Amino acid sequence: MTSQPYLGRPLRNSSVWVKRRDKLFAFPKPLSSDLPAAGLSSPSIRTPVLGPRAYGVALWDVPLLALPGSRVEFDYGEPLDCAVLSPLDAVGVLASTQTGFMPPRCPDYRFPEPLSALASLCQAASTLYSHEDAQGFRRWLQAENDTLARRAGTLVELIHSAMSLPLPEQELLMVPLIYLNHMWRQGSPVLDAASGPSVMPTCFDVLLTALSESTGILPRFNQLIMTMRAWRIDSLSDGDGVSYRDLTDLNQVRPYFWLNGVNQSELDFYRAFFTVESFGIPVYGWGALALECAAADDAELGAFALRCVHDTLRNVYFCVRHLVPKVDPMEFRKIQLTGGWVNDDLNGAASGYQLPFMLMLDALFQVDYSHAGAATARANGLRFVPGRWKEFFRSIHDHTPGLRSWVQQRQDTKLTEAYQSCVDMYTVHRTLHRYTAGQTLRGATTTGRAFVSAERNYRDFMSETGALVRDTEAVGLAEHEERRH
């Protein structure tokens, strides 16, 4: 990174940092008011404000830091060299103020001929799939393949129509194809988890293969495809610009493509993952700013940035705590069984380890994965994360000085309390996930691995997540814990 290690030399009065800090602005009440951005020392930014209630809980209206730069349009492709950028500048390239790592516009799955029917086809597929008739479902998709072949003329023409799209649209076209591939392989949600390779009918398969090579997106279902690409908002149309307030209005958010027909349990399941990214958006800017404060030894602003990280975590925690217990375990298994591409040449996984919010927090607080099973599951999931995102999170993890070392050396009471409150809240969040997800996933495979039995799956999950809770707690400040107890 471009910043230098903190060696006890106060840098907060340097002219470079003062100019940098004075150019930063934030939106004070993004959940409740369209107020203009203000400087970080403004009372409108610094005064904690309760926002609207969600699920009976009053949420903190965490300010949104206005990110610099212009976001790239295509998330995949060649990695970016984040080592030459400051943390905030890197976030501004990969994410946006209002939507974080979510797309800045509602996904638009309207494609030109002969691809125009793919979105509606994918929507119809989930309903047929939910009928739990594998042979009937596969006959139907084969017939749709034949229809597509007639409309396209030749496979060369079909591939050309897809390759002619700009890369962001090719990325979107991958989504319904991956969903179809996902359902084709399993056939029915009540069968045992499918194992081994699987190839869709010819037209769908050649499209998926060609687009995967063109975009660099692995052609398997994953959490990023589901949570961050396949959503719709009731009050907005395809292609409309979205704001932070749109994304956090969970009553209007729903899957664009369903996995097992339209049902309330799947909707709750979807929103439970979606809320992590939507309410988690402020973390990227404030977390990056906290690292820049560490490099400049600005304890006052660093403490404020960490308080914003804590309040964001709190909002996510309360929404997830409400939603996950509502997910019906039987319906969850029907969805999740299809997610584990095991014993295939490219094992797939729909894993929470793939979400940028979790990657950011683990990198920011340098959480180590001590359990071999958890480390393997995480590595498996990371294969599906865009390379430029992974490079960014590595740069956050490796930033010098790290938050913990800076806080320990700085010995500032407010900074210490702000840091420890983040670690405590993150530990509570992971403890909740361990318990609620453990109760829900019995019998399902969640990380692209084959399990001897449902009971073994549950034991492994509880063991791995128990270790992860301890790993998270361990990045706290031991001396602070001693004073508390």
Structure tokens at 384: 């599906």
Q: Is the dihedral of CA 150, 155, 157, 163 positive or negative?
A: positive
pLDDT-derived band at 13 (thresholds 50, 70, 90) equals low
Give the alpha-carbon dihedral of 182, 184, 185, 188, to 10 degrees.
100
Q: Which residues of 443-467 are buried (b: 16+ CB within 10 A; e: fewer)?
A: bbbbbbbebeeeeebbebbeebbbb
Supply φ then ψ for residue 105, to 5 degrees. Answer: -130, 155
d(CA 162, CA 111): 9
Residue 345: per-residue pLDDT: 80
Lowest mean pLDDT among 74-78, 86-90, 151-155, 427-431: 74-78
> Letter for the amino acid at 476?
G
CA neighbours closer than 13 Å in the CB half-sphere of residue 8: 1
Q: What is the DSSP letter of 450?
A: -
Cβ neighbours of residue 279 under 8 Å, at least 6 residues apart? 59, 248, 312, 315, 316, 319
**51 three-class SS:** strand
Ramachandran region, residue 200 (left: φ > 0; alpha: ψ -120 to 50; beta: rest)? beta
Q: What is the DSSP letter of 4?
A: P
How far from 24 is each of 46, 180, 289, 408, CA to CA, in Å? Answer: 14, 44, 10, 26
Q: What is the pLDDT of residues 402-426, one digit of tens each?
A: 999 999 999 999 999 999 999 999 9
The distance from CA 428 to its chain's CA centroid, rounded to whole angstroms, is 19
Lowest mean pLDDT among 62-66, 174-178, 237-241, 349-353: 349-353
Helix 264-279, helix 329-337: angle, nearest 10:
70
Is residue 250 a contact partner of residue 278, using CB atoms and an 8 Å limit? yes
Query: Residues of the chain with pLDDT > 70: what percent?
Result: 92
Say if residue 277's pLDDT is above 90. Answer: yes
Structure tokens at 336: 């999740």
**39 three-class SS:** strand
d(CA 249, CA 427): 26
Say if residue 310's pLDDT is above 60. Answer: yes
d(CA 428, CA 436): 12
pLDDT-derived band at 8 (thresholds 50, 70, 90) equals very low
Query: Residues of the chain with pLDDT > 90: what percent?
Result: 69
Burial of 4 from C-beta contacts in 10 A (0-12 / 13-18 / 19+): exposed
Give the alpha-carbon dihedral of 97, 98, 104, 107, to 10 degrees.
150
> Letter for the amino acid at 97?
T
Residue 9: per-residue pLDDT: 39
Residue 485: per-residue pLDDT: 44
Alpha-helical runs (H) found in 324-371: 329-337, 356-364
